[in-house]
Structure 1
């Protein structure tokens, strides 16, 4: 069954607070469903307090995009996520993964242990299990998983409500499409697409700053959308029809430019 469109915006606090609060309210009024916060220590405020503040500014969903499991114990992730669900009255989505490429160097800088990928994935499972226990029978915090390898995809098929297949800059449309088609959830799992580049603009915290938009276009990558909103809308609809993506996540810098197509496609 084709799922309805929804759209999220990764909106880290990169400006003064009044400007950021205005941005949050503008995003909420433009048809976007979810405001998302990256998990990048020391570069911007921590996700939980920033999302709690965002949820108080406007009536929209909020979420992590995504918690890096090596950065904190599974119990801490679960408790924080459950607390955000309670404080936002069910408007929080817990995005979680095993960490960005290069997370090992970041862990060393923070004097934290560098664990192998299999152990990080086990921590993701523990965090989701503990979250379900904390939520109890009367609350269910949606879980969004960023995955790439076969073990991560298998876990996501088991426990996630939404899945985004993590892509590398050189991945082609055909390669990512094949990974999506190999993903068999056996449940009604929503497919999300991380889109860090619109035109020539690369979103902070969503991709390396030296990412080359021309190379993405040459590779026919799914990580980029055309700058023209009409062409972008056509491409978004193509990706839902051909691959099954229904949840699209952009950077805050493109949010105003894409707002008309978001409002149109989401029925706002």
Structure 2
């Protein structure tokens, strides 16, 4: 294994954008076209009821409008039965001709209250992790031998990391507000040490400069504290400095897939133009 990736080879950079539909349709369509023209690889949708239209139909429309890959960022496993999520993901793979990536995790902090509001059981984390495994297993059965829907897993604890090491194509480490760089560096390196497959490492970057991306972190996020902790959830606003930091993170930790909020897509377009595919 080299210093830069989990599987012994440096992966090329790619960049995704979380762009839920929160405007009128023409404005959203224009944004998608700008994202595609800027060199981003993937258009992503959160899985939060009442925030925007449901992910699946929205992603199908986005895939039709552009040549982008599309994906869920990320399905919350307790929101629907495992077979239903798997069927939806497989269907999107078929309808997009292989351009869909299923992001899945156990849900955001505080999802228990949301589940109760929806009349769903607030199952414990261990059971939510079992639901993730059941979803991926069902998806592989539906895909069969001729289709492979990439699975992106958002992970935090050791049990989630172990499951991702077995099942995921891409792994994103879920960051918390108090996480310092040294702590996450140890976590990522420990994860890499146990992975023997070809796994891509992803970064969810919620803060650019002092601005917080909607849908990627709470609006009351303490950006000063994140800067003080040298948090990996932050990138500089200056494109040249951001590009330098992104390259550092690949070299030191193996991160090659970076996901930003749609409000920052234009600001970071020069970074994408410079690094995507390299």
* Coarse TM-score class (shorter-chain normalised): over 0.9
Question: 1:23 aligned to 2:31?
Answer: yes
Q: Which residue pairs with 1:55 in the alignment?
A: 63
Structure 1 stretches of 4+ moved >6 Å:
none
The alpha carbon displacement at 1:266 in A equals 1.0
Question: 1:233 aligned to 2:243?
Answer: yes
Q: Which residue pairs with 1:5 in the alignment?
A: 13
- Give the one of 198, 216, 238 matched to 2:208: 198
Q: Which residue pairs with 2:97 in the alignment?
A: 89
The alpha carbon displacement at 1:267 in A equals 4.6
Question: 1:254 aligned to 2:264?
Answer: yes
Relative distance call for 1:144 and 1:267 in structure 2 (3 A) is: closer
Conserved? CA contact 2:19–2:43, under 8 Å: yes
CA RMSD of aligned residues (A): 0.8
Question: 1:266 aligned to 2:276?
Answer: yes
What does 1:176-187 correspond to in 2, within 5 Å?
176-183=184-191, 184-187=194-197
The alpha carbon displacement at 1:172 in A equals 0.8
Q: Extract unaligned runs of 5+ from structure 1.
A: none
CA deviation string 1:109-128 (max 9, x = no partner): 11110101110000000000
The alpha carbon displacement at 1:244 in A equals 0.6
The alpha carbon displacement at 1:213 in A equals 1.3
CA deviation string 1:128-186 (max 9, x = no partner): 00000000111000000000010000000000000001010110111111111111221
SS of match in other structure, 1:256: coil
- Give the one of 110, 130, 134 matched to 2:118: 110
What does 1:112-151 correspond to in 2, within 5 Å?
112-151=120-159
The alpha carbon displacement at 1:43 in A equals 1.5
Conserved? CA contact 2:12–2:277, under 8 Å: no
The alpha carbon displacement at 1:82 in A equals 0.2
| Structure 1 length-normalised TM | 0.99
Q: Extract unaligned runs of 5+ from structure 2.
A: 1-8
| Structure 2 length-normalised TM | 0.95
More contact order relative to length (CA 8 Å, sep ≥ 6): 2
The alpha carbon displacement at 1:235 in A equals 0.4
SS of match in other structure, 1:257: coil
Conserved? CA contact 1:156–1:185, under 8 Å: no
Work out the CA distance in 1 between the residues paired with 2:92 and 2:12. Answer: 25
The alpha carbon displacement at 1:199 in A equals 1.0
SS of match in other structure, 1:209: coil
SS of match in other structure, 2:267: helix
Work out the CA distance in 1 between the residues paired with 2:190 and 2:115. Answer: 32
